[in-house]
Amino acid sequence: MADGCACDRHAHMYLSVDQALARGLAVADPVTDTETLPLADAIGRVLAEDCVSKVDMPAFDNSAMDGYAVRTQDLGDGPLFDLPVAGRIAAGDSGAHLAPAGSAVRIFTGAPVPPDFDAVLMQEDCETTKTGIRFTRCPKPGQHIRRVGEDLNAGAPILRRGCEITAREAAALASAGYGTVEVIRKLKVTIFSTGSELKQPGEELRPGQIYNSNRFMLRALLDKPWINLTDKGPVEDDPALLEQVLRDACETSDLIVTTGGVSVGDEDHMPRLFADIGGQTDVMKVAMKPGKPIMFGRRERALYVGLPGNPVSAYVTWKIIGSQMMARRAGLHRAPQTPERAVLAEPLQRRAGREEYRPVQIEGLSAEGSPRLRLMAPSYSGRVALLAQADGLAVIPAEIETMSEGQGLRFLRF
Ligand code: AMP
Ligand code: MG
């Protein structure tokens, strides 16, 4: 695929990134099959039910401190308060025992506060005496007591379907009493890299060959607990071979992701092959740099995303468009990454016409506290190793031709 000026002159004929994304999302309907799993096995998966708390949180009045529980009505005028200590309640004790009026109870964080006791004194504020405790500050009713239902009542919503069960969600579900949870079944994803020039890293390169980087990039990008991945490896630019792999993948996949072969060269077979096997295709030229040609397709339940072969283009189109289609297909309700505000650490000059995602490094902060972005090489689309040294992508709007040092722009942090 040539990336020259002729393309940019026709940029008005291309779809904008937003238009392409909208078209991609429109064909990416969410998988709806679910399964019920023990909570520990559901970690990393996509929640399929709206969840409400099964219990009050906290479930009982309990102490927020290590110290002494008292009844404020037992306390006189001060300035010194003396109480005998009548018992001891630790976390896990039932707290059913009644303590006598006119006494304090030794209590620890998380332990149930006995009935009628309405304040907890921190142990740091109490002096122990021969008969009990002495303190000088009269506690307020309710002090250091966590009341039943104070955080959440049983029945209150805690999580919506479509979220990923990461650490915070797992903790919330556990505290709300979920021993099992309903999740969306794993998304079946098949990947392969097209190109007769591709060689497995570690092997010796013959003239004309290159190492297959897209395969490993996709393996890393798709390494998710909610994905069941099939990697068909590299496939030569042989139409019969490609068609067979594509046909097989369609039978078994919710999503197929390939790289290469979606452009207009003689060896770019994917759009025609996908149509030949009965798929609906949408090959789009998107006004984005890097990464012009991207293809979507649908054949029965298989959604197909054909990324450009150039590894930087493949990464950027995946990040900006493909990954969002996949998230939607997997049943995730996830807002796309919100760009940060950043400023340029140097002036920029370029050809207008395409929205550009330029690899950048953060070089300190501006006076206002925004990251200052140093542009990496102006010609970067063939240099995937640069991506590994970048801190993120600066987003340069399509119509922009020049920018000055200190000018603000959007930044997508890796
Ligand atoms: P294509 O889109 O198939 O025309 O490929 C565009 C460019 O990306 C060509 O220079 C390919 O050699 C290169 N390329 C395609 N697939 C890969 C891959 N899996 N790993 C590294 N480079 C690739
Ligand atoms: Mg190719």
pLDDT tier, 2 (very low <50, low <70, confident <90, very high otherwise): very low
CA distance linking residue 186 with residue 165, whole number of Å: 13
CA distance linking residue 135 with residue 142, whole number of Å: 17
Residue 271 exposure: Cα atoms within 13 Å on the Cβ side? 18
- Please report, as a single letter, which amino acid is at residue 82: D
Nearest ligand by distance to the CA of 193: 1
Task: List the alpha helices (DSSP H) in 176-298.
Answer: 214-221, 239-252, 270-276
Neighbour-count burial for 188-197, b at 16+ CB within 10 Å, e otherwise:
bbbbbbbbeb
How big is the chain, counted in residues?
A: 414
Residue having the nearest C-alpha atom to atom 17 of ligand 1: 309
Q: Is the dihedral of CA 42, 47, 50, 56 positive or negative?
A: positive
CA distance linking residue 79 with residue 204, whole number of Å: 87
| Closest atom of ligand 1 to CA, residue 213 | 20
Instruction: Report the SS3 class of residue 363.
Output: strand
Q: Is the CB of 193 under 6 A from ligand 1?
A: yes
Q: Is the dihedral of CA 358, 362, 366, 368 positive or negative?
A: positive
Instruction: Report the SS3 class of residue 149.
Output: coil
pLDDT digits (tens, 9 = 90+) for 170-192: 999 999 999 999 999 999 999 99
Whether 14 contacts 287, CB under 8 Å? yes
pLDDT digits (tens, 9 = 90+) for 232-278: 999 999 999 999 999 999 999 999 999 999 988 888 999 999 999 99
Q: Is the CB of 309 under 6 A from ligand 1?
A: yes
Q: Is the CB of 313 under 6 A from ligand 1?
A: no
pLDDT tier, 6 (very low <50, low <70, confident <90, very high otherwise): very low
The pair phi, psi for residue 199, each rounded to 5°, is: -130, 145
- Please report, as a single letter, which amino acid is at residue 112: P
392 DSSP β-pair partners:
360, 413
DSSP 55: S
Residue to substitute in 272, 273, 283, 310 for testing ligand 1 pocket (most ligand atoms within 8 angstroms of CB)? 310
Q: Is the dihedral of CA 127, 128, 134, 137 positive or negative?
A: positive
Mean pLDDT over 17-26 rounds to 94
89: enclosing H helix or E strand: strand 81-89
pLDDT tier, 1 (very low <50, low <70, confident <90, very high otherwise): very low
pLDDT digits (tens, 9 = 90+) for 271-307: 999 999 999 998 888 999 998 789 999 999 999 999 9
Q: How many angstroms separate the alpha carbon of residue 260 from the centre of ligand 1?
A: 5
CA distance linking residue 51 with residue 235, whole number of Å: 44
Q: How many angstroms separate the alpha carbon of residue 193 from the centre of ligand 2?
A: 9
Q: How many angstroms separate the alpha carbon of residue 187 from the centre of ligand 2?
A: 27
- Please report, as a single letter, which amino acid is at residue 320: I
Distance (Å) of CA 24 to CA 28, 119, 266: 7, 59, 25
Single out the residue of 259, 290, 288 nearest to residue 359, CA to CA.
290
Whether 88 contacts 131, CB under 8 Å? no
Whether 389 contacts 376, CB under 8 Å? yes
